[in-house]
Chain A
Amino acid sequence: MKAYVYVSLKKSVLDPQGKTIYGALNKMGFKGLEAVRQGKFFEITLDRDLTKPEAQAEVERIAREVLTNPVIEEYRFSFED
């Protein structure tokens, strides 16, 4: 089982990298863009013996306690069975 964790800056936090990418995309002529936010992506391979609720609890804890700084970031995650 694999877990995919996405970490991004909170909406209230300025993202200079995303802003720079947005500016570059506009200059390159890409149309219809409103904004770009940059984040991090983690692919976590889990032990097969874990039940779904166990895996969910474990990944939630990893995302909250390690992968994210709650002052500036937020996370979401999904699973691929």
Chain B
Amino acid sequence: MKFGVIIFPGSNCDHDAYWTIQQVARQSATFLWHESQDLENCDAIIVPGGFAYGDYLRTGAIAKFSPVMESVKKFAEGGGLVLGICNGFQILCESALLPGALMRNVGLKYVCKPVHVRVENDDTPFTQACRQGEVLSIPIGHMEGNYFCDDSTLAQLRREQRIVFRYATPAGEITPEANPNGSLDNIAGISSAGRNVLGMMPHPERASEAELGCVEGFKIFQSLVGSMATR
């Protein structure tokens, strides 16, 4: 299995993702430069967190026009696995690989803390090592994580079971207090219709080793490796 981790000017979670894939998941990983259209035959692409192109104009607004994203779009349309984390989720929404948009947090503050998310769908390549309803503790760190979409899109996401993670209490209850940023329906992560693209605001790569205080995020990488083995 070969993972490609994209580097935009301003990415800052690229090395964390690379480390997790190589050192923890024991898979091969390579960095992909934003100006290259060559995905180097990778089996899965990670669009990492950070501030691509300084988040100028809007988060992800400039990144979506980069050469590498053209290839990622084609890769995703052909069923390729794409995981967007935090800024990566914002970029995937801007690129229309996922519906909706991530707006400024309702509290107007950058929020950086561990949160709990409930796995709403374990039948995806990103969550197959989880159980439906399982609560994972994974940190967030963002200013624009407030997920928004129109009513018909939300209805469609629900109908097609594409809401993959929702902010919850440690016991798994979906409450307004558990929502750190005002996201519609407590949405923390969604998938594409084909389930091969996932965007999530929490950082699983920051919760993949005991040394980091939490390993529950590793289930996302474990799921990916498992699903790639059977693809």
Contact = CB atoms under 8 A, between A and B. Distances in A.
Interface of A: 12-14, 16-17, 20, 66-67, 69, 71-72
A71 B108 contact: no
B108 A72 contact: no
A69 B101 contact: yes
A71 B100 CA distance: 6
Given A13-B103, A16-B106, A72 B61 contact: no
Interface string B125-154: 000000000000000000000001110000
B104 A16 contact: yes
Interface in B170-188: 182
Contacts of A69: 58, 61, 94, 101
B97 to A, nearest CB: 13
A25 B9 CA distance: 38
A17 B108 contact: yes
B72 to A, nearest CB: 19
User: Interface majority SS on B: helix, strand, loop or mixed?
Assistant: loop
Contacts, number: 32
Contacts of B93: 71
Interface residues of B, number: 19
B101 A71 contact: yes
Contacts of B182: 14, 16
Given A69-B94, A71-B148, A71-B149, A17 B104 contact: yes
B108 A20 contact: yes
Contacts of A14: 106, 182
A66 B113 CA distance: 32
A12 to B, nearest CB: 8
Contacts of B101: 69, 71-72
Given A13-B148, A72-B148, A67 B104 contact: no
A66 B104 CA distance: 19
Interface in B84-102: 93-94, 99-101
A14 B107 CA distance: 12
A17 B94 CA distance: 21
A38 B182 CA distance: 18
